[in-house]
Chain A
Amino acid sequence: MIVQTFTKGIFQRNPVFILLLGLCPTLAISTSVKNAIGMGVAATFVLVFSNLFVSLIKNLIPKKIRIPCYIVVIATFVTLVELFLEAYLPDLNASLGLFVPLIVVNCIILGRAEAFASRNPVSLSMADGLGMGVGFTLALVLLGAIREVLGSNALLGYELIPGFRPAMIMILPPGAFLTIGFLLGFFALIRARREKREREMTKSK
């Protein structure tokens, strides 16, 4: 059960590619794999702990003010992340910039608190948070890898093909829109193919 809850967030209900949540940091941060991993880990930390706490206090919160309560819980963990990055990883903090405080309004986190953690036990909620966080991180890394390879001819900062002139546009803002547009189209194509095959199989039976 816990394992299922965990893997669900990675593939079937991937927050970025299937649910289309948390797009702002996904597009803005994915200029390189390093930034993508940093953002993914930070968001996963906030997701797991906000899910844990929301699940712990779910019976204490009055129904009407539950959203502000969730926001305070989330904002507390985001502030922790902010202070940690400022103190120990100033370089990463500088390249993530505005998007560290903006983890607060990442719809994945509030969405999971409201849709999952507020009605499930603690262990399941943490597994869900971890799964969604890993799914988010994988999506970010995929996008970041594509953009870094095409846009700066490198992966994790190491040059790939000497002498190849990269397409600058991919690490500029339009590149983010292009990459996610084509990726979403590609996934839709795979889904359509699979559904068609399944339909044919049921028909032939």
Chain B
Amino acid sequence: MIGELLIIFIGVVLVNNFVLVKFLGICPYIGVSKDLKSATGMGVAVIFVMTMASAATWLIYHYLLAPSPSNIWFRILGDGIDPSSFNFAYLRTIVFILVIAALVQLVEMIITKTSPALHHALGIYLPLITTNCAVLGVTVLNIDIFFKEGQAVPWSLLKSLTQGFGAGVGFTLALILMASIRERLELADIPPSLRGAPIAFLVGALMSMAFLGFSGLI
């Protein structure tokens, strides 16, 4: 069990890194990687929201949308009806994006009330996370991998949480590495037309090549 979770975690941090291999969350990767401090802030906020979103969307999919015997609509109304007639899986995209938007708002409100210091550090990054495709990406991926025909695989919730947390860690790893390199690049002699975004993509190419080296790991 622990081994299985560890494989999921390492798989999503190194082998299938969300930014460098799967191309999820490229916008913040290029936009927020100019200095190390904001990269760290963004990374921590993303880990937090991804883990929460993985749990929330798993629960909603399992109990409200999927055509399984544990579907709440089936339990209330399903006397003698086949559970597959309660299949709301096609609402996945709409429901998930709304859940993520609400969650981000909720997290922001809680942090503002309980910890002004944390809010000061993460505040400006939280609204950006709603449209970070890595967050919606990990929740959809969880459903694709950890549900078979609408039925949750064993330990599905724990696996989803691990994948959500790992994806956030992988994102943060890529973001922090990128920010550290770009701080050095400030002093480098770059051809004028490559300054800014182009050189960031070329650095991304080299990092992505390095991460390809992990591909035989699991």
Contacts and interface: CB of A to CB of B under 8 A. Distances in A.
A176 to B, nearest CB: 7
Contacts, number: 119
A184 B140 contact: no
Contact of A172 (B27, B195, B212): B212
Interface string B131-151: 111001100110010000000
B133 A105 contact: yes
A56 interface: no
A180 B137 CA distance: 22
Contacts of B132: 105
B24 interface: yes
Interface residues on A, range: 35 or more
A201 to B, nearest CB: 21
Contact of A101 (B20, B136, B197): B136
Given A174-B209, A174-B212, A105 B199 contact: no
B198 interface: yes
Contact of A110 (B94, B131, B206): B131
B90 to A, nearest CB: 6
Interface residues on B, range: 35 or more
Interface of A: 20-21, 23-25, 27-28, 67-68, 71-72, 75-76, 78-79, 82-83, 98, 101-102, 104-107, 110, 169, 172-178, 180-182, 184-186, 188-189, 192
A106 B208 CA distance: 22
Given A23-B27, A174-B209, A176-B23, A68 B201 contact: no
A104 B23 contact: no
Nearest to A83: B90
13 contacts: A21-B27, A24-B23, A68-B101, A79-B93, A82-B93, A102-B133, A110-B131, A174-B208, A174-B212, A182-B202, A185-B199, A188-B193, A189-B193
B185 interface: no
B59 interface: no
Given A79-B91, A107-B27, A185-B198, A102 B98 contact: no
